[in-house]
Amino acid sequence: MTDPVLKNDRLIRALLRQPVDRTPIWIMRQAGRYLPEYRETRARAGSFMDLCRHPDLACEVTLQPLRRFDLDAAILFSDILTIPAAMGLGLDFVENEGPRFAKPIRTRSDVARLGVPDPERDLGYVLEAVRTIKRELGNRVPLIGFAGSPWTIATYMIEGGSSDDHRLARTMLYQEPATLHALLEVLARAVAEYLNGQIAAGVDVVQIFDTWGGILTPAAYREFSLRYMQAIMERLKRRSGTKIVPVILFTKGGGAWAETIAASGCDAMGLDWTVDLGDVRRRTEGKVALQGNLDPAVLHGSEAAIRSEAAAILAAYGRGPGHVFNLGHGISQHADPDRLKVLVDAVHDLSAPYHQG
Ligand code: CP3
């Protein structure tokens, strides 16, 4: 059963592979720098982390894209690096560079010092943002909560920030696998408690962002990324009263492992643009819903190109429920908001025939 109070429950229904009238759409990073109103609120907040730490401002930027576009969901405005920040690594977002940790994790004794943050005590600002957004949304659309996968969060903690080659994280994987496992274990516990905190605070769906799972070998993906996401999914309280909280697992670059991911315990799998949706649908035999997978660069194309590429994604998935439209990764900060409107409206207009009869 989907939450009876939601006015628009297309996303929940699609994630549970129940019939819908139109294909729901939301966009990864739908709140962000491509929107002038986001840049204005962020300037008012001072820094990106100040924006995350003030529930009213986080709520404001969460709602901004919904005022412009006919989206079927809101996503909590926060970041996957709130957990290592709460673990005391000293997080800063450096202008035009990205995240940087003052105290990266390099050794077994660094890992031994890490504790599992208490969601209410250490990440209360995120839970307060969830409660504020739920109140302001008034059940118009579902709210998506999220966290990073242990492996993806670990890469930032080990590298000390963003990295082109993830050399230090991959060195630890082959040189000190026990240290990496210890780090992933504490992160899996932290992520499970954090997501359960978000569910208790009111989120309707959760997505696990495994942005860097796709850089691993198939065997290393199973051992160092998927296994810990499975441990999280086993611990999630997916029923909250009468409502079911579906889980979306997004491994960027994970298309080759679709069958394995579909059997991992998720309700839906996010896909990037390197795979054909129809192909993955056949391979996964309707076991999970599929989310994706328009190339974000399509938004730099003409309006006609946006419509025809959207039509191609809908056709690739084909008829029937179980598809959530999204980009294959986050929207670019250089995207034109008017082009995103063309996409959202096209998906709603063009998808109705796939759900009739
Ligand atoms: O999707 C949404 O609208 C919700 C908000 C959201 C943000 N980050 C806000 C953000 C979500 C879901 C994330 C997830 C996230 N954060 C991921 C996984 C998804 C992905 O894109 O692969 C990762 C890897 C991060 C870590 C992170 N946060 C990096 C590497 C950076 C710097 C690079 C960049 O894109 O600026 C951030 C900063 C960040 N997180 C911004 C936003 C809107 C930009 C900050 C700014 O305003 O300057």
- Percent with pLDDT over 90 in the chain: 96
Secondary structure element (H or E) that encloses residue 130, with its range: helix 124-137
Q: How far is CA 48 from the centre of its chain?
A: 18
Q: Is 13 a known active-site residue? A: no
Catalytic residue among 13, 22, 42, 53: 42
The torsion region of residue 181 among left (phi > 0), alpha (psi -120 to 50) and beta comes to alpha
Kindly state whether residue 5 falls inside one of the protein's structural domains.
Answer: no
Q: How many domains does the chain divide into?
A: 1
User: Residue 67 is part of a domain; what is its CATH number?
Assistant: 3.20.20.210
What SS3 state is found at 321?
coil
Kindly state whether residue 4 falls inside one of the protein's structural domains.
Answer: no
Kindly state whether residue 274 falls inside one of the protein's structural domains.
Answer: yes
Q: Residue 242 Cα, ligand 1 centroid: separation in angstroms?
A: 32
**DSSP secondary structure letter of residue 331:** P
| Ligand 1: residue whose CA is nearest its atom 8 | 79
For residue 144, give the nearest of 187, 192, 198 by alpha carbon: 198
Q: Residue 62 Cα, ligand 1 centroid: separation in angstroms?
A: 13
Kindly state whether residue 2 falls inside one of the protein's structural domains.
Answer: no
Domain range enclosing 59: 10-355
What is the C-alpha separation between 77 and 144, in angstroms, rounded? 10
pLDDT, greater one: 353 or 4 = 353
Kindly state whether residue 298 falls inside one of the protein's structural domains.
Answer: yes
- Per-residue pLDDT of 130-140, as tens digits, reads 999 999 999 99
Q: Tell me the pTM.
A: 0.97
Q: Residue 94 Cα, ligand 1 centroid: separation in angstroms?
A: 13
| Ligand 1: residue whose CA is nearest its atom 2 | 29
What is the C-alpha separation between 58 and 52, in angstroms, rounded? 6
Kindly state whether residue 145 falls inside one of the protein's structural domains.
Answer: yes
Kindly state whether residue 1 falls inside one of the protein's structural domains.
Answer: no
Q: Is 156 a known active-site residue? A: yes
Q: Is 29 a known active-site residue? A: yes
| Ligand 1: residue whose CA is nearest its atom 46 | 48
pLDDT category at 89 given cuts 50, 70, 90 is very high
| Ligand 1: residue whose CA is nearest its atom 36 | 98
The predicted pLDDT at position 2 comes to 57
Q: Is 21 a known active-site residue? A: no
Kindly state whether residue 16 falls inside one of the protein's structural domains.
Answer: yes
